[in-house]
Each structure stands twice: as structure tokens, then as C-alpha cells.
Amino acid sequence: METRARVINTVHVVDLQGRLDAHQGKQVDQKLAEVMHSTNQTVVNMSKVHFIDSTGLSVLVKGVKHHREKNGDLVLCELQQPVRIIFELTRLERVFQIYATENEAVQAFQ
Amino acid sequence: MLETIVDTHSAILNDLAIAWIDSGAQAVSITDSQGCIIAQWPLLTLAGCSDLCAPIQLHGHSIGALHIWGKFELPVAMRLSADAQFLSSIVALESELAEMTTDVIDQQDQLMALHQLAQTTRVDNDIRQNLTNLARITAHLLKTETAFMVLQADGQAPLPVVYPTEDWPSAMWQALIQELEHRSNKNQWLLHENDALLHKLTIPVRNLLVKKIAVRPGISLILGAANKMAGDFYAPDLKLFSTIAEPAGANLENAILQQEILNQTRIQTEMELAKQVQMRLLPQHTPELPELELAAQSLPAFDVGGDYYDFILGQGNLLTFTLSDVSGKGMPAALLMTMLRTVLRGKAKEMTVAAPEELLGVTNESLYDDFSEVDMFATVFIGQYNYDQHILYYANDGHAPVIYRPAAGPAVLLPADAPPLGVLPISLAERQMIAFQPGDLLVVTSDGFSEAERCDAEMFGYDRLLQLIDQLVALPAEAMMKSMFSAIQNFSGEHPQSDDQTVLILRRRD
């Protein structure tokens, strides 16, 4: 899984690409942990993620919990349809703030 | 040197001196290169300078002299000179002997060190420890200030070890090797501080012996020794270096292999244990109730995934049943499942009135910290069927698929209304209810079922599942369940099962 991080003002944006599953989960977990050293405001851009399983979900859940413990938040944006469905089925869309576009997500922090 | 020889050969020198005195000399002495007296005969203070003396030499340099006092003729001078030369050759022989002895001790030392090296790499040390020993022994054997080892494996960060500890970046040595390999086909190089390459890479050493060996395809080892303590590296050093390097590769490969086998065994054992734990958690048989048909089964994958289902016959005409899926795999998932089961069963047995949302709430509260600690969650469906009133009460934390098929059809998905257990500190699940008519059917499966893949990466999916249930509806619960497993098996074909597959069926008898 490719991961990149960019910074917009005080907000870190992490781009993920590919499958967010048991194999790639560790990398993403590390990336989020890294990012958290410098911020508690993170946007995860999911536009290039086409698959997610429970391990992938647990990585994001871990991320959001840690961010909220530090009085920040981790939000998601640009979910692809199949991934969106998984979030709805598990009702995790009640846990995460999910935005249609990256802009909206970044704005929400400001 | 001369002093030592005078000591060790005092008897002979004594005889020599006495012979001189007997033949007329008043006194005899031996002095060192500064002119200080090392030995004299007789032992009285001697007056001034000697009358005759002859130099004692080693490798063409004067290291002292033989003196006599008295009046002598010319032949005496020749005799004195001959004695001095004799003494010189004794000194020369002793010097050679001393050198050879040092060499022998050195070699013994080296053999011990090599033996030690072979021994330590056989013991179950980790890779870093092996490399540290290797570096330490290399520095010791080659008599250098520093030795270093860098283990390079494709696709991994290099593992550098420097003895004694220093802050040399491994990237420096890798860059050096790359440049050297460009230069020539050799795999061993000797560099000195005026070498342009050392300047270019700012490597601050006086002299450097470096070598690269292949450990295994994709893994190589760079060995180096820097700053030889007395002088430079000569042929014997290069030979010794090769002697150290040759078995190092083989020993290292053994150590790496050992570690891999150990890891593999650990994983397999953990998997086995997790599987056993999981099997013990599942109900050994389904309850028999005149009002209901029940069937349930779980097919674990190799990578044990943490599916759990249960039936709890409590009080008040209540059958509590559950199907749950923990997000992780292996032992941690199995252990969390055990805890979940304990809390659920404990509470469910006490309940006299259906309140599945309460059951979820209590379980979430009890286990939230534990789930958070290991960064996992669990989807949990809880049904409480009152088999007197025939009402199904249920609550669902994030689980899918849950399928309800009224007797007249068609099968529909019942969505969850709250996120999985362990995600939020408070459960958001609400109680839902369905009045069950005769022939009404509930099928709950884990996502290993609906997400079963075949070789073209297509998943079974919810649509197929709904259709399948509609097709199999005429079968008794047990037969239906078996057919469902067959259908998934047929669909997946050669593609291996990657997640546990669990099915639970409940039907109100006609």
C-alpha cells in the first residue's frame, strides 16, 4: 500500500492507495502513528482505496481513538462506493466524520 | 634486550669474565647503548674509562659494549672483538627466538579466537549478537582499533555493527562497497588514507581492509577492519581476514535460518493454540426446542480469524443466541473472544426478560478497555427469542449479514444500527423486534461467508446469499446449512478460504 502525507496549514493529509487489509494494515498503522507525532488533526484521503476489511477498519478505528484522546480528530474523505458500503454496514459511519471532498475535510478543522 | 641476556646468560658471562681476569685483565664490564654499566667483574667501583672495548651489535646497530681494564697487546684486542661478536650473535639468536615465540603465541591466540568464533555462532544467539562477536574477534585478531560488520538484506534496512561502538553510518560503508565494486571484480580491498575514494566519502581512517561476502541470495555481509594499531596490513593479515570471512558467511546463514525456523514454529504453535481455544468456545451441540429448528456451524480458516457463535438457554422462555466476529486474527482474537463469551453468557443466563441492547451495553462497557488496548473490535449480533410469544428481539453492533426471510419470502438484509463493540465507550445499539410467524427464518453468517472469493477475485456477496437462501428455503435447517457451505465451496473453487465461515439458522417450526 502506498502512503503519502502532506500538510495543509496545521492539518496533515494522508493519502492511501490500494487495499487496506491485513497485509497492508501495518504500514498504514505506522504511518498514522508517525503523523500523530506532529499533529492531532488528520485527514485520511481514501479516494484511491478500493478495498477494506476488518483489519483495515481496526487500523482506522485505532487512529481515530488516539486522535480523540489528544483532543483532535481523524476524519475520512472521498470514500469509494464499495468502501462506503462497508462503513455503512458496520455502522462505522456513525463513528467517523466522513466528507465528500478533501477540501471540506480540511476546512472542517479550521 | 642486552640486559635481559646478561641476566639469562649470567653463568657463561661469569666464566668469560673470570677467564679474562685470569689472563691479566684488572676488570671486565658490559655496558648498554648509553654507556651505562649492566654488569661488571669484579664488583668494585671501576676507575674511569676502560682501556679496551668492543661493540656488541644487533642488526648492524650498536646496543652496548664489552670493556676490559688493564695493559694489553694487540692480539688481545682481537680476542675481545671476537668475544663481543660472539655475544652479538647470542643477542641476535635470542632476538629471533623471542620473535618466533611471539608469533607462536599470536597464532595460538588466533586459533583460540577462531575457535571461539565458531562456537559462539553455533549457540542460539541472535543475529546482532553474532555480528558483534564477529566484529570483536576480527578487531582482536587483526589488531585493529575498529572492526565493523554490515548485514545487507534485500528490501530491508541494513544491520550495521561496529566494534567498539561508534557512530559510523552504515550508508557510508554501503556507498564504499558500491564504488569499489565499480572499480574491480574483486571482493576484498585494502585502502589507505591517501586513497581518493576515502576522501570522497569522508571516511576517516588510516588504513582499511574491507570485504563483501554472499551469505545467501539477497543477503550479503560487509566485513571491515580499520586502523591497524602497529603499522599496516601485510600479507598474513589479508590471509587471516579471509580465514575469518569464509566461515562467517556460512555461520551467519545458519543463524538466520535458525531464527526463521524458530519464528515459523512460534507462529504455527500460536495458530494451533488459537484454533484449539476457539474450538472449545463453540457450542458442542445446538439446543433442542420443540418450537424452533436450529442449526449452526463454523468452519475455521488456517489463519484462525475469531468467529464465535453461542446459544444460551436462560430463564423466562428465552433463547439467547449470538454470532460475533473479532477484527484480528490468531491468539489475540481468540483470547478476546473468550472474554466476550464469558461476559455474554454470564449476563444472558440471569436475564428473564429480553433486552439484547442491554446485553450489548454491558459487554461493551466491560470490554471496551481491553479491546482498545489491543486495537481490535468485534461485530456482535445478539438475538433473544421468546419461544412462548414467538418474538425475536435483537440488537446488532456492526454485524452483517443478518438475513430475515418471512415464510412467504423474500429474504432481506437486516442492517446493524450501531458500530462494532469496542469502538465507542458506549454502545449505541437499540432493541429491534420481529414477530415470528410459522416458517419465518433467520440466517446469520459471518463475513467470511459473504466475502468468500473465487479465483477471479469476485466475492460471493449479499445478492447471491439472499438468492441462495430463497432457493434453499424448503430444506430443514440442518440440510440448508450444509447446502450453504457447499454452495460457497463450489463458488470459491480452488481459491483458499481466507477467513472463518460461520452460519447460524433459526426457524419457527410450521
What is the structure's pLDDT at B305?
61
Residue reference for cell 463513528: A95
Report which DSSP code applies to A31: H
* Annotation: CATH topology of B125-259: Beta-Lactamase (3.30.450)
CA B472 to chain centre: 52
Report which of B272, B293, B297 is spatially closest to residue B284, judged by C-alpha positions: B297
Q: Say if strands B61-69 and B318-326 run parallel, antiparallel, or are unpaired.
A: unpaired
Q: CATH 3.60.40.10: which residues of chain B?
A: 282-508
Contacts of B13 (CB under 8 A, 6+ apart): B6, B30, B39
What is the structure's pLDDT at B94?
87
Helix (H) or strand (E) holding B59: none
Chain A residues touching B418 at Cβ < 8 A: 91, 94
**Cα B323 to Cα B312: distance, rounded to the nearest angstrom:** 12
The vertex-A54 CA angle with A50 and A55, nearest 5°, equals 90
Q: What is the pLDDT of residues A8-38, one digit of tens each?
A: 888 999 999 988 987 888 888 888 888 888 8
| Phi-psi domain of B143 (left: phi exceeds 0; alpha: psi -120 through 50; beta: other) | left
Report which DSSP code applies to B400: -
Chain B, 311-340: which have a CB under 8 Å from a chain A CB?
Answer: 325, 327-329
Is the separation of the CB atoms in B67 and B52 below 8 Å? yes
> Which DSSP string do the residues of B79-95 spell out, in sequence order?
HHHHHHHHHHHHHHHHH
- Which stretches of chain A sit within 8 Å of chain B by CB? 22, 53-55, 57-59, 61-62, 65, 88-92, 94-95
B283 touches A at CB < 8 Å: no
Is the separation of the CB atoms in B65 and B45 below 8 Å? no
**Cα B197 to Cα B180: distance, rounded to the nearest angstrom:** 9
Report which of B138, B97, B145 is spatially closest to residue B237, judged by C-alpha positions: B138
**Cα B407 to Cα B474: distance, rounded to the nearest angstrom:** 10
Report which of B19, B20, B21, B38 is spatially closest to residue B29, judged by C-alpha positions: B38
What is the structure's pLDDT at B123?
57
What is the structure's pLDDT at B502?
94
Is the separation of the CB atoms in B322 and B382 below 8 Å? yes
**Cα B275 to Cα B133: distance, rounded to the nearest angstrom:** 40
Question: What SS3 state is found at A71?
Answer: coil
Which of A27, A61, A83, A87 should we substitute to test contact with B (largest number of B Cβ atoms within 10 Å)?
A61
Cβ distance of B415 and A90 shorter than 8 Å: no
B150 vs A98, more confident? A98
Report which of B283, B354, B367, B362 is spatially closest to residue B326, judged by C-alpha positions: B367
Report which of B161, B126, B130, B127 is spatially closest to residue B147, judged by C-alpha positions: B161
* Burial class of residue B418, CB neighbours in 10 A (0-12, 13-18, 19+): buried
pLDDT lower than 50: segments of chain B: none
Question: What SS3 state is found at B250?
Answer: helix
Sign of CA dihedral B175, B180, B185, B186: negative
* pLDDT greater than 90 at residue A99: yes
Question: What SS3 state is found at B193?
Answer: coil
The vertex-B455 CA angle with B451 and B460, nearest 5°, equals 25
Chain B residues touching A95 at Cβ < 8 A: 419, 423-424
CATH class of the structural domain B282-508: alpha beta
Is the separation of the CB atoms in B384 and A22 below 8 Å? no
Nearest to A92 among B325, B372, B419 (CB): B419
**Cα B419 to Cα A90: distance, rounded to the nearest angstrom:** 6
Is the separation of the CB atoms in B363 and B343 below 8 Å? yes
What is the structure's pLDDT at B497?
83
What is the structure's pLDDT at B170?
67
Backbone phi and psi for residue B116, each to the nearest 5 degrees, phi listed first:
-60, -45
Please report the domains of chain A, with CATH numbers, ordered by start residue: 2-109 (3.30.750.24)
pTM of this prediction? 0.61
What is the structure's pLDDT at B235?
81
Chain B residues touching A59 at Cβ < 8 A: 375
Chain A residues touching B424 at Cβ < 8 A: 95
* Burial class of residue B432, CB neighbours in 10 A (0-12, 13-18, 19+): middle
CA B349 to chain centre: 47
Q: CATH 3.30.450.40: which residues of chain B?
A: 125-259
| H helical segments located in B123-156 | 127-142
Chain B residues touching A54 at Cβ < 8 A: 325, 327-328, 377, 379, 447
In B6-110, at which residue ranges do the beta strands (DSSP E only) sit?
27-32, 37-41, 52-58, 61-69
